Chains A and B, each alone.
Chain A
Amino acid sequence: MPDVEVAEARAVTNGISRRRFIGYLIAAPTLVAAADLRVASPARASVATVQPVDFYDLTDLLTDAANLTAGLITVAIHPDGTASFALPRAEVGQGLTTAVAMVIADELELPLDKVEITLSDARPELQFNQLTGGSNSMHVLYDQVRIAAATARGQLALTAARLLATPLPKLTLKNGVVAAPDGTSLSYGALASPAAVSRTQAVLAQLKPASQQTLVGTPQPRIDALEIVTGTKQFAMDLDVPGALPTMVCRPPTINGTALAVLNGAAVREMDGVTDVAIIPHTQFVPGGVAVRATTFGQCIDAVRALEVQWAPGDAAGKSDPDVLRDLVSAELPMTPALGQTLDQRFTFYFRPGDPLETNCAVADVRPDSAEIWSAMKSPIYFQETVAEMLGMPVSSVTAHVTQGGGSFGRHLFADAAFEAAAISKAMGKPVKLMWHRTDNFRQGRVHPMCTSRVRITYLANNVLTFDQRHTSVATDFTHGLGEILSATLGDVPEGDYLGYSQSVFTLTANVPYNFGSVTQLLNEVYHPPGSMFNTSSVRNIYSPEVTVAKELMVDQVAKAIGQDPYLLRRSFVRDSRMLAVLDAAAKAANWGRRMAPLTAQGIGIHHEYKGYAACVAEIDCTAQTVNREVENGYTGPRVTRVTYAVDVGLPINPLGLEAQMIGGIMDGIAQALTYSLHLHDGYFLEGSWDNAYYTREWNCPPHNPPTEGIQVIIMPPNQSEPGGAGEFGVAASMAAVANAYARATGTLPTSFPINHSQPLGFTPLPTVPPIPPSPTDGLQEAF
């Protein structure tokens, strides 16, 4: 773009209303418009060294990085009267496609069902504007898509004014029609071609004021809800790519082992339906093992189980939970010296799966000089560039399609299955439809790292003087490209210093929302990528759930020590009025302090992140009758019976979707506090099925029996001009509230999580050789 346009944009954004921005009309056969947000970014980035989250947080950083290329994502108007937008983000259930469609429809004055959202292929020119993470998407896209849509609306109106020979101010735009006072009108469809421009040009875009928005802020169901309930929503494994036959991998008995030799390859190639068998070496990008391709996945499972493979162990061979814990404790950074009365406690958080319900999967068709890959990828540019190098072809020869994802929870920040599918397709010289088995997904897939979090609080009379937190963790792998953003934006992270990246993420997210005097929160990590012995990733909410649980449990301990109610203590120490408001809202709706039966209690937890504030009150039932209830092959234990969650995201775009994200986060919080983990034993994880890894099941979910039991989400009224983040914002406060409720109900401070992790194992671990179990054959006996 010429410099003059940048200068013009600066004058506009610095001078006039916040609602006026520069947009671009893009040369195209029909009307296409984009935003220019390059000006706002460097101004903030210039002060963005490493600072407390009060001044600059992870949301700001991701936004500034993404806005540099805002002008490259466009809203297009078509002759059939629809608008389309190729979303440069993943949709993994978080409701982004719906929220973005609402924003575009609102700004364009078009019915919601006339806006079509697709997921964009990888576009390297977008640089940092195609990473889905940090609950940042809506925050950054809100301005980008509104400006693009407003630019298109302005051009539609101008064109209609000319064609209808009516002055612009007399026209009204509604429901995809521009109408003149004399009753004449033109549909957007009719205007799509006349409004097109032959030369890309910058124009002023006038955003609708918030008071005139009709969709933003209203509850709207998901735009793909009908496809979902009729079974027609397409995920990667539902695609029909010619020749892409089912493919699975026989995986090693320890984490990151590698296949040395196949002892019975010829026999397995002869098995029913099998077309190919190939060793796929383990690398930084490709988990690998021995791949088999067959007519059906059932035949793949049989072939994987039949393979006899000689394995070299991974680096974690021989390691178990206590070994990692010992390494973590010895890596803990020193506390500042204590003053006065001291509360000091270390909490342990075990490995936790990053499994969505859709297992890792991808379709790949790698030819000698080109490649096409389909998968639910949150960092598709990084994938495209890296896989091109891996395959030895130019980036432009690789097409990376982003498919709808069946959940993510951090698993899709890395495109493990896509890399692996590409490697297999190349090795076999054929298209493949690669699907991981569930057992592999738990045992070899990326996990939330095991960590400890030690908190030391000193207090005098009713005052907290110091708060120190030392978070020590198996390293979180950020090598998917977030590292590039951090180094590009902060400018001070040496290449290859992954410790520096994680320090930055920690510093940009960790916070203490209380006036606790002198505060320090420091991270140290062990087993660094690349080439770490464990496969980790930013599982939903990254460090925050554990940092928050340790912190909030200790806040309750302060309350206990000085004889104050946990809610009233928080009231007197929170340092932000928005936090106070959610705290009061949750406490009031939950009827905080109500009389509870023995072994039942309320607990409270609060959290600040993603430009928002959250407070949660949970009620738990730890009575023997409840704890000892039996479910076949299921874990019961204490039951959370009621959760009240108040959330302030500044500007809720879709309250229905926001509520859904909080509900999901609460289900995670319950699981993470009480039941959901992986046991590391002798170099592998014992869990191999959903009946081993205890994510919240129906019998763990609060019953729906309002007002005494169930989930209540309170969404605070809009108080900002921009939305904060939502997708990960339900986890930390709810996990902390459940932990505190458990402590209060039982009178015992839990110090390792999930609370059931150290109890005797509730299942018989599946064998590691063969790596996957056979499918049962007695399914009809279970019919109901």
Chain B
Amino acid sequence: MPTHTFVLNGNQVSVDCADDLRLLWVLRDLLGVHGPKYGCGLDVCKACTCHINGKAFNPCSVPVSDIQPSDQITTIEGLAATVGQQLHAMQQAWLKYDVAQCGYCQPGQIMAAVALVNETSAEGRQITDADIDSLRNICRCGTYPRLREAIVEAAAHM
């Protein structure tokens, strides 16, 4: 069984598993990291959104062999540490607007929102409604309106 190694939330980790095992199951079933949720396994619902080297991606659709030893994988559990805080500005905004309902999609929503704000900042512009329209993460509880407010709020503090 091949060994795969990468940096998970700041720590180097290694797992023995088949090359084509999707990273989501490496995280959830082999490493016990449960923040990223299963919602479809089709790269559609985005509930499992994490970061690879700061960019949002969906581990349900990435074979573990695509991950390099130097790649930095960040799950919701490691998000705050990337900014050296107890909570990331996006998480704080989520609390301020009490965005979550059941909470199942919210780790993925937060991870996607952080990447979106970083992307627009890198382009030297403020986030717009049209940018938020591009987020594909499903929230079946329908928290979208508060989520929109929280993203704009967080963007001002990132």
Q: Given contacts A231-B35, A664-B141, are A698 and B133 in contact (CB under 8 A)? A: yes
Question: A222 vs B146: C-alpha distance in the bound complex, in angstroms?
Answer: 14
Q: Given contacts A233-B103, A357-B47, are A298 and B143 in contact (CB under 8 A)? A: no
B94 partner residues in chain A, CB cutoff 8 A: 225, 228-229
B32 adjacent to chain A (CB < 8 Å): yes
B70 → A minimal CB distance (Å)? 14
Question: A234 vs B101: C-alpha distance in the bound complex, in angstroms?
Answer: 14
Q: Give residues 688-717 of A contacting B (CB, 8 Å).
A: 689-691, 695-699, 701-705, 710-711
B142 partner residues in chain A, CB cutoff 8 A: 663-668, 696
B158 adjacent to chain A (CB < 8 Å): no
Query: Closest residue to B60 on the A side, CB-wise?
Result: A775
A702 engages B100 (CB within 8 Å): no
B13 adjacent to chain A (CB < 8 Å): no
A775 engages B102 (CB within 8 Å): no
B29 engages A297 (CB within 8 Å): yes
Query: Closest residue to A705 on the B side, CB-wise?
Result: B129
B95 engages A229 (CB within 8 Å): yes
A237 adjacent to chain B (CB < 8 Å): yes
B7 adjacent to chain A (CB < 8 Å): no
Q: Given contacts A406-B104, A698-B134, are A435 and B38 in contact (CB under 8 A)? A: yes
Q: Given contacts A783-B56, A784-B115, are A776 and B42 in contact (CB under 8 A)? A: yes
Query: Closest residue to B48 on the A side, CB-wise?
Result: A779
Q: Give residues 112-150 of B contacting A (CB, 8 Å).
A: 115-116, 119, 129, 132-146, 148-149
A230 engages B140 (CB within 8 Å): no
Q: Given contacts A698-B132, A704-B148, A779-B62, are A225 and B42 in contact (CB under 8 A)? A: no
Q: Given contacts A229-B110, A297-B25, A358-B37, are A776 and B143 in contact (CB under 8 A)? A: no
B interface footprint on A528-572 (CB within 8 Å = 1, 0 otherwise)? 000000000000000000000000000000000000000000000
Interface centre among B106, B107, B139 (most CB of A within 10 A): B139
B62 engages A698 (CB within 8 Å): no
Question: A368 vs B102: C-alpha distance in the bound complex, in angstroms?
Answer: 35
Query: Closest residue to B110 on the A side, CB-wise?
Result: A229
A778 engages B95 (CB within 8 Å): no
Question: A773 vs B43: C-alpha distance in the bound complex, in angstroms?
Answer: 11
B41 engages A775 (CB within 8 Å): yes
B95 engages A226 (CB within 8 Å): yes
Interface centre among A227, A228, A631, A633 (most CB of B within 10 A): A228
Question: A409 vs B139: C-alpha distance in the bound complex, in angstroms?
Answer: 13
Question: A297 vs B36: C-alpha distance in the bound complex, in angstroms?
Answer: 14
Interchain residue pairs A-B with the least CB separation, the first 7? A667-B142, A231-B35, A93-B102, A406-B104, A779-B61, A231-B76, A228-B103
Q: Given contacts A272-B18, A356-B140, are A780 and B29 in contact (CB under 8 A)? A: no
From the candidates A229, A298, A664, A690, name the one contacting B101 in the complex (CB within 8 A). Answer: A664
B18 partner residues in chain A, CB cutoff 8 A: 272
A702 partner residues in chain B, CB cutoff 8 A: 145
Question: A116 vs B1: C-alpha distance in the bound complex, in angstroms?
Answer: 45
A251 adjacent to chain B (CB < 8 Å): no
B91 adjacent to chain A (CB < 8 Å): yes
A83 → B minimal CB distance (Å)? 23
B39 engages A299 (CB within 8 Å): no
Question: A228 vs B147: C-alpha distance in the bound complex, in angstroms?
Answer: 14
Question: A476 vs B61: C-alpha distance in the bound complex, in angstroms?
Answer: 37
Q: A235-B37, A631-B133, A664-B142 are in contact. List 20 more A-B contacts (CB 8 A).
A: A92-B102, A225-B98, A227-B103, A229-B100, A229-B110, A231-B76, A296-B21, A297-B38, A298-B21, A404-B102, A660-B98, A666-B142, A695-B140, A698-B135, A711-B145, A775-B60, A776-B61, A777-B20, A779-B62, A780-B62
A767 adjacent to chain B (CB < 8 Å): no
Q: Given contacts A297-B29, A406-B104, are A690 and B38 in contact (CB under 8 A)? A: no
A301 engages B41 (CB within 8 Å): yes
Question: A631 vs B132: C-alpha distance in the bound complex, in angstroms?
Answer: 13
A359 adjacent to chain B (CB < 8 Å): yes
B4 adjacent to chain A (CB < 8 Å): no
B57 engages A780 (CB within 8 Å): yes
Question: A1 vs B98: C-alpha distance in the bound complex, in angstroms?
Answer: 43
Chain A interfacial residues counted at CB < 8 A: 83
Some 26 contacts from A to B, beta carbons below 8 A apart, are A93-B101, A93-B103, A225-B98, A230-B76, A237-B38, A238-B34, A296-B25, A296-B30, A357-B105, A406-B104, A406-B105, A407-B104, A407-B141, A437-B41, A438-B44, A656-B98, A661-B101, A689-B42, A697-B136, A703-B133, A704-B149, A775-B22, A775-B42, A777-B61, A779-B59, A779-B66
A664 engages B100 (CB within 8 Å): no
A32 → B minimal CB distance (Å)? 30
A3 partner residues in chain B, CB cutoff 8 A: none
B104 engages A235 (CB within 8 Å): yes
B55 engages A783 (CB within 8 Å): yes
B106 partner residues in chain A, CB cutoff 8 A: 228-229
A704 engages B152 (CB within 8 Å): yes
A541 → B minimal CB distance (Å)? 13
A295 engages B29 (CB within 8 Å): yes
B64 → A minimal CB distance (Å)? 9
A240 adjacent to chain B (CB < 8 Å): yes
Question: A183 vs B101: C-alpha distance in the bound complex, in angstroms?
Answer: 43
A300 → B minimal CB distance (Å)? 9
B84 → A minimal CB distance (Å)? 16
Question: A362 vs B52: C-alpha distance in the bound complex, in angstroms?
Answer: 31
B78 → A minimal CB distance (Å)? 9
B34 engages A357 (CB within 8 Å): no
Question: A696 vs B21: C-alpha distance in the bound complex, in angstroms?
Answer: 31
Q: Given contacts A437-B41, A779-B43, A779-B58, are A231 and B115 in contact (CB under 8 A)? A: no
Q: Give residues 57-96 of B contacting A (CB, 8 Å).
A: 57-63, 66, 75-77, 80, 87, 91, 94-95
B151 → A minimal CB distance (Å)? 9
B40 partner residues in chain A, CB cutoff 8 A: 438-439, 689-690
A230 engages B146 (CB within 8 Å): no
A234 partner residues in chain B, CB cutoff 8 A: 34
B98 engages A407 (CB within 8 Å): no
Question: A48 vs B17: C-alpha distance in the bound complex, in angstroms?
Answer: 62
A660 engages B143 (CB within 8 Å): yes
A772 partner residues in chain B, CB cutoff 8 A: 41
Interface centre among A227, A234, A772, A783 (most CB of B within 10 A): A783
A82 adjacent to chain B (CB < 8 Å): no
Question: A7 vs B94: C-alpha distance in the bound complex, in angstroms?
Answer: 51
A782 adjacent to chain B (CB < 8 Å): yes
A783 engages B144 (CB within 8 Å): no
A219 → B minimal CB distance (Å)? 8
Q: Give residues 198-213 of A contacting B (CB, 8 Å).
A: none
B41 partner residues in chain A, CB cutoff 8 A: 297, 301, 437-438, 772, 775
A406 engages B37 (CB within 8 Å): yes
B38 partner residues in chain A, CB cutoff 8 A: 237, 297, 359, 435
A229 engages B44 (CB within 8 Å): no
Query: Closest residue to B151 on the A side, CB-wise?
Result: A704
A238 partner residues in chain B, CB cutoff 8 A: 34
Question: A652 vs B40: C-alpha distance in the bound complex, in angstroms?
Answer: 36
Question: A224 vs B103: C-alpha distance in the bound complex, in angstroms?
Answer: 9
A394 adjacent to chain B (CB < 8 Å): no
A95 engages B129 (CB within 8 Å): no
Question: A695 vs B138: C-alpha distance in the bound complex, in angstroms?
Answer: 8
Q: Given contacts A229-B100, A296-B29, A357-B140, are A784 and B55 in contact (CB under 8 A)? A: yes
Question: A406 vs B102: C-alpha distance in the bound complex, in angstroms?
Answer: 5
Question: A776 vs B59: C-alpha distance in the bound complex, in angstroms?
Answer: 10
A609 adjacent to chain B (CB < 8 Å): no
Question: A531 vs B26: C-alpha distance in the bound complex, in angstroms?
Answer: 40
A358 partner residues in chain B, CB cutoff 8 A: 37, 39, 102, 104
B132 partner residues in chain A, CB cutoff 8 A: 698
Q: Give residues 620-665 of A contacting B (CB, 8 Å).
A: 631, 633-634, 656-657, 660-661, 663-665
A221 adjacent to chain B (CB < 8 Å): yes
A407 engages B102 (CB within 8 Å): yes
Query: Closest residue to A220 on the B side, CB-wise?
Result: B98
Query: Closest residue to A95 on the B side, CB-wise?
Result: B101
From the candidates B75, B135, B139, name the one contacting A357 in the complex (CB within 8 A). Answer: B139
